[in-house]
Structure 1
Amino acid sequence: MNLPNKRYDLPQIMFGVLFIALMTIASIWVVQPFVLGFAWAGMVVIATWPLMIKIQSILWGRRILSVIVMTLLLILLFVLPIALLITSAIENGAPLVKLASNPSQLHMPNFAWLHAIPLVGDKAYSGWHTLINSGGSALMARVQPYIGQTAGWFVAQAAHLGRFILHCSLMLLFSALLYSRGEQVGMGIRHFAVRLAGDRGDAAVILAGQAIRAVALGVVVTAIVQSVLGGIGLAIAGFQYATVLTVVMFVCCVAQIGPLLVLIPAIVWLYWTGDNTWGTILLVWSCVVGSLDSVLRPVLIRMGADLPMLLILSGVIGGLVAFGMIGLFIGPVVLAVSYRLISLWINEAPEPEKDLEEVNKLLGE
């Protein structure tokens, strides 16, 4: 039996696709100011959802009470450190400004050890003391061209700080909403994934959540532990800017550089100033803090998801470089989902022949 050819209304299809594209672009344009805050909220809620469920079970099964507790915890974790950092910058900035306005109060080191450097030591020592003996005028003459650029950089960072505070506020708001309606939102995302790619789409969504939890446990928690312990060591050793250095250590740990980038110069400074006792104590403490990630991070990653640690760390570093701080979670999710989908696709085919001679015979035919 011959079936009649189905006729397609091409203008209707073109205008339909155009309308859908315009609506999609308009929707993205409308929600663009909220995308980053919502993305951060999603990452935080996915990573801390088991903790919220445990708190809910303790608080007589009341979701509203657990949402309030989790929101307060997020405020302590995000708002309080930012407030401490800003307060520390303001308090420590005044002495630096006063010192910069009166360079005569600045006591430069002698650097007598420069004489021991072959060939260039005497010249370097002479040039250093020429700058010191000029009363700071020669040094200011060299630094002057960069002052305008530095001021512009600080203005730009202040603008970034304002946007960061805005996104942080949106993150707290969206986190409270997602905590209260997490099951409905999660089921909606899984339903969309099933509609898009069937059972594999649903599995990909679940795997993405596991990857986010693995990063939160293995990378972020390890970075927090290392930076806090390193900051405690710096504070006990008597460093005035321990709060700022702790934040710098946290950023270095998240970027997989480690806390030693901050701790080693601190140890060198203590030995250089003659405080050998605290220098030795901080050296031993730094060895413990620096090696903590090799023990703590693999255990925490395995608790979050059964994924190769190299895959997670590659996704963290690559995502951080490509997308900024939000890439800390996007990178591992993309690599983890791609890795599992490719593995499933490969395993659908039979394994190759183990006998290489048989394979060579097939090539010879």
Structure 2
Amino acid sequence: MNLRPTSGRLLAAAIAVLSFWIVHGFIEALLAAGVIAIASWPLYAAFRTRLPRGVGKGAGAAIFTGAITVFVLAPLVFAGWALMSEAHALLLGLATADGRGLVAPEWLANAPVVGSSLAARWQSLLARPGALLQMTHQAEPSAILGWAHSLGQATARHALIVAFAILLLAFLYQEGSSLAQALTRWLRETVGDRAEHYLVVATRAVRASVNSMIVVALFNGLVTALAFAIIGVPRPLVWAAIIGALSAVPFLGYGAVVAVALQLVLQGTHTAALWSLLLGSAVLLCGDKLVRPIVARGGMQLPFVWVLMGCIGGFSVLGLAGLVIGPVALTLAQEILAQQLRESC
């Protein structure tokens, strides 16, 4: 009995498991780079054809990686910086209002059913000058320090992921063609003749998902800017840029809309606050329910609820890359199931 083939397979499996265990902390970076590379490959191919002949493959990949990095990170960096600036202004306004006492707005008392009880609760907790500051002093210092430590660790970790994703993206642009051919051959040997079809489905779904994210972010930003300008929201373009960037992640955009309404409430413009809350939420809802399915229709034949679950579930497991990979995985599962049903009939 020849044990060499079995021993060779066990050794190969052990090496594969060890390799995965070593690099598993960089899976998010690898997936993010893969998603961006697949989505932008047609642009990269067109870019390569227009480069002078003297520019090598590595230089072309580096130049295009730099351009894509700016395109992806610039809006996120701007949104983060603007959000911190607005949060600082919001906290200053909250502290100033707390010094005078936060009086319950009239519309809260006039709200049906629970309005009077909520207004009375507000008055008992926040109407006294300095009440909010006193409540913050009751917080445990260790909890605040722990939260700050966790925030610092998360920031450092995501900065490392972004750095490695950029390096991996340059590598994928440089070696993408050979890697795609090798992956196709391996899948054909493993899955069979349907491997290429599944690759086409996955590629089409990735590009449709990324395109829908970009279009939804632009739609939410532009329409929100127009709505906020009509309402009279201070710095409508800044808030629209924040909402547009955050709306790539489901439900994060609503947090920015609530922050706008809260800022207007502190300024005493309750009607504008209510309109900003209603219109901002309506724009985000239209972006998710109408614009995203229309843009993604060519690549993903999934109902909205499945796309939403794929985005949220993928984000919770894989981070930002999961926003794309989640719906793509569900699209592939749907295609495989449909293929099995067709063959069984």
TM-score (norm 2): 0.76
The Cα of 1:94 is off from its aligned counterpart by 5.4
Query: Partner of 1:335 in structure 2?
Result: 330
- Is this contact kept in 2: 1:38–1:171, CA < 8 A? yes
The alpha-carbon distance between structure 1 residues 328 and 32, as it changes in their structure 2 partners (threshold 3 A), is same
Q: Which runs of 5+ in 2 are unaligned?
A: none
**Contact residue 267 and residue 282 of structure 1 kept, 8 A:** yes
Q: Does 1:224 align with 2:229?
A: no
Alignment correspondent of 1:203:
197
**Distance in 1 (alpha carbons) for counterparts of 2:46 and 2:192:** 31
Matching of residues 160-175 of structure 1 within 5 Å: 160-175=154-169
Larger Rg: 1
Q: Distance in 2 between matches of 1:139 and 1:191?
A: 64
The alpha carbon displacement at 1:34 in A equals: 3.1
Quote the Cα distance in structure 2 between the aligned partners of 1:326 and 1:300. 19
**Residue 291 of structure 1, aligned match among 276, 286, 293:** 286
Query: Is the 2:108–2:116 contact (alpha carbons within 8 Å) kept by the matching residues of 1?
Result: yes
SS of alignment partner, residue 207 of structure 1: helix
CA contact (8 A) 2:98 2:132 kept: no
Structure 1 gap ranges (5+): 1-7, 351-365
Please report how far the alpha carbon of residue 19 of structure 1 lies from its aligned counterpart in structure 2 after TM superposition.
Answer: 1.9
For the residue of structure 2 that corresponds to 1:254, the secondary structure is: coil
CA gap 1:301/1:99 in 2 versus in 1, 3 angstroms: closer
What is the identity, as a one-letter code, of the residue corresponding to 2:146? G
* Contact 2:33-2:168 at 8 Å conserved across structures: yes
- Counterpart CA distance in 2 for 1:48 and 1:345 is 31
**Structure 1 residues 22-63: Cα deviation after superposition (integer angstroms, max 9, x where no partner):** 211221133234322121101001011112223334446766
What's the RMSD between the two structures over aligned residues? 4.1
1:156 to 143, 150, 153: 150
1:29 aligned onto 2:21: yes
Instruction: Decide whether the 8 Å contact of 1:316 with 1:329 is kept in 2.
Output: yes
Supply the AA of the counterpart residue of 1:176: A
Cα distance 1:163–1:230, how it changes in 2: closer, same or farther (>3 A)?
A: farther
- The separation in 2 between residues aligned to 1:262 and 1:86, in whole angstroms, is 11
State TM-score, norm by structure 1. 0.72
- How many pairs does the alignment contain? 339
Residue 194 of structure 1 aligns to a residue in which SS?
helix
Identity %: 21
Rate the CA distance shift 1:258–1:309 in 2: closer, same or farther, 3 A: farther
1:46 aligns with 2:26: no
1:254 match: 249
User: What letter is aligned with 1:18?
Assistant: L
Contact 1:320-1:326 at 8 Å conserved across structures: yes
Find the counterpart in structure 2 of residue 56 from structure 1: 48
